[in-house]
Chains A and B, each alone.
Chain A
């Protein structure tokens, strides 16, 4: 131990440099062993640190589910932990009033695609400048492993004990079609491209969406023979196909594959910008007197 320092100070010095981004009073995290949420939390802290975003300029909005705990309470920034499925409309309200803030939504597939799916596609359509990091573990993990709208056909869950008979959403493709500015898909195995992709999303204007395939060993993995986090990561490594390569492959070859990479990146008018433009424009337009004037005629 270096002279003049006590044990506590040494421990503090050896802390990970990103430890400052965590809300210390709530640690350790409640994530299960092998859970992907810790990896996503780590990946998220990197671009936030690298971009040196002003701590007061990030607002995290989240819903209900394990991955919603990544920003709330663990990530130390202004945080709005909302009702189940609604973080995107809450975030829309925040972004409209504080357009200079980086508004980030981190939540799961049950929250954003299941109960909140309508909000997700509408926010993509509006191209409102919020950053959505969807942690997709193909299951309702927090509630004990019930069927999700992302669960693959045939998988047995606690509410599909005889095997799932529903087709799952391909959510990244859906959001790309709905009009988002930036859409990508990565897995918790691909941490470096994921960090880079998050950095891209945090800097690109408009609705940015990253689907992050993430493992839930407890509520999903053990049902499909992947009982540990590392087994899941191994599978992500083996079954992922870069989008550039996927275009060369047949549908049969793509069965069971995860297509990773950037699906869309485009310039498009942003919603809150348009609101502001309208307000400015109205200031110079001639305005009549009284309510008889605002009628459509």
Chain B
């Protein structure tokens, strides 16, 4: 959960806060989890963390891309940092537009550092169905990124 939060949020401090809040939320809302439902507890937990991260990102101010070129500090390290931040924001904005199941599958795959069989288990899918869902998610993400003018690393470097 911590890895997922940090990769989505891009910094350790916010990731720690979100994971803490999630544990407290899970503690206080445990009764609302329906074990007879389709979602496993781990799936629900991942989604709670992911939604908390996306909520927090929505509240964070994002500097427009063209402001990166007008930085007062033009040293390579500060430029790199600003560009890395922009790439991160673009990715998260694109991920946020994915359908929920594709978003969860891709988040587990990319950010949760979860193996395909484990992701399939968490998503309550067969391995082939999970791989198909991931493939659909990647296709949708490529389309969303293309719509934002991003077709590869070169577009934000």
Q: Do A and B come from one complex?
A: no
Show the binding face of A for B, using Cβ within 8 Å: none
Show the binding face of B for A, using Cβ within 8 Å: none
